Amino acid sequence: MSAPILSLAQAIEQKETAALATVVDVKGASPAKVGAQIVLLESGKAIGTVGGGKLEASILEDAHKDMQNHQTGLHHYRLAEEGQDAIGTLCGGEVTVFVQPYFPLPKLVIVGGGHIGRPLKVMGEAAGFEVVVVDVMAGMDSIPELEQVELTKDSYVVLITTDHISDEAALRIAIKTPAPYIGMIGSLAKCKTIISHLKSDGLTDREFDRIFAPIGLDLGGPNPNEIALGILAEIVAFRQKKDGYNGMVRSRRTGKA
């Protein structure tokens, strides 16, 4: 196994972001050869080579942009001083490179297993999430198990415990993390009451914008499977930033417009 592929495999195993750049076409004189590969890690470290010099620097710059934008890229470079796609060298050839970023799976954290959590776990895994279930005993005002879960900017938290005390305890933990989506089940009255408790603690409106309560799109179905589907649908719509999302969800979030 080549050094770039080995490094990429290690990054994926360690749930780190990385990008693999592969030379797919070469015309004329070029230091790069078809099939040459380089891996760019999130730390900025590069493993492998695609010819060095300005060409390699340009490829790594585009790989970094593709990682930032969460998109694949097909990039063309002319080894010339001037003109379209020129990189300021004199070789005279042309190189085309395909960049494939790799990202850790988004994390779906379900606090409270139960009759909704079970189908939500299955659906979440089928939709490509890493699913973590935190079981909670009723009436718990502290949830150390949730504090042990790493919540990142690509983590989506679902609070579906059996009582308002545990839901509030979990919300207080989740709101301190970078998780962009924190959904809580329950009636609008219950959700407003819990939110008011957190407001008295001085949380900002920007922090409350991450709380979706009551949770889930209202698909009209009353059974646990349908409720779970509505929750997952809301998370996917939020994560993909679909145009119709605000109209479907924000109008009923804790009474906000």
- Domain end (from 56, 72, 102): 102
B/e letters for 87-111, b = 16+ CB within 10 Å, e = fewer, are bebebebbbbbebebeebebbbbbb
> In this structure, is residue 257 part of a structural domain?
no
pLDDT one-digit tens code per residue, 208-219: 788 898 888 888
Query: What CA–CA distance (Å, rounded) separates 7 from 11?
Result: 6
Q: Is the dihedral of CA 109, 162, 171, 159 positive or negative?
A: positive
Say if pTM beats, i.e. exceeds, 0.75: no
* Residues 129 and 42 occupy one common structural domain: no
- pLDDT confidence of residue 245: 54
* Residues 70 and 184 occupy one common structural domain: no
pLDDT one-digit tens code per residue, 186-210: 778 888 888 888 777 777 777 778 8
* Residues 113 and 96 occupy one common structural domain: no
Domain span at residue 132 reads 107-252
* Residues 62 and 114 occupy one common structural domain: no
- pLDDT confidence of residue 159: 93
What size, in residues, is the chain?
A: 257
pLDDT one-digit tens code per residue, 216-249: 888 888 899 999 999 999 999 998 876 545 544 4
Domains in the chain: how many in total? 2
Q: Give all strands of the β-sheet with 211-212 in edge-to-edge order.
A: 130-134, 107-111, 155-159, 181-184, 211-212
Give yes or no for residue 140 having a pLDDT over 70. Answer: no
* Residues 155 and 239 occupy one common structural domain: yes
- Domain end (from 102, 123, 155): 102
* Residues 63 and 137 occupy one common structural domain: no
* Residues 37 and 152 occupy one common structural domain: no
* Residues 114 and 58 occupy one common structural domain: no
- pLDDT confidence of residue 208: 78
